[in-house]
Amino acid sequence: MADRTPAERLDRALDSLLTGGLATRERELRPLLDTADQLRLALAPVPVSARFEADLARRVAAGRRAGRFDLHVPTWLLLTGAVSSAAVGVGVTAYAVWRGTHRSS
């Protein structure tokens, strides 16, 4: 299907420009493609420092280990633990209230 709008034709031409392909022969798009070429050069990839790359790689690796631990803790075990803790808390509180009530009477 033929491209219909200037925006679509420009996008196709940019695909070609950014992948090192042939430039379009459309005169209407030439000024925009010249600007696009300036952008391509001015917005080149910014180098990452080796120190930062190594530091973040270590953090990602540590995060991966934490993630693996999370995966190996079953949900039912976490839920059981939470419910048990809550039950113990409620029980202890109820006992303390009961003891307090009986002492004061």
Partner 1 sequence: MSEPMPSGPLAFDPAAERPTQPDPDRSAVSAAQGDPADFGVLYHRYLDAVYSYAFYQLGDHHDAEDATARTFMAALRGIGSFRNEGASFRAWLFRIARNTIANAHRTRARRRTEPMDAISLEPPAPDADPAGLALRAEEARRVRAAVIALPDDRRQVVLLRFADGLSAREIGEVLDRSEGAVRVLLHRALKDLAEQLHR
Residue 22 interacts with partner 1 (CB under 8 A): yes or no = no
Q: Which is nearer to partner 1, 74 or 103 (CB)?
A: 74
CB of 91 to partner 1, least distance (A): 35
Q: Which is nearer to partner 1, 3 or 83 (CB)?
A: 3
Tokens of 60: 């990602």
Backbone torsion region of residue 22, taken as left when φ is above 0, otherwise alpha when ψ lies between -120 and 50, otherwise beta: beta
Residue 52 interacts with partner 1 (CB under 8 A): yes or no = yes
Q: Considering all CA atoms of the chain, what is the largest pairwise distance in Å, rounded to the nearest integer?
A: 99
Q: Which of 67, 81, 89, 91 binds partner 1 (CB under 8 A)?
A: 67
HSE toward the beta carbon, residue 36, CA cutoff 13 A = 18
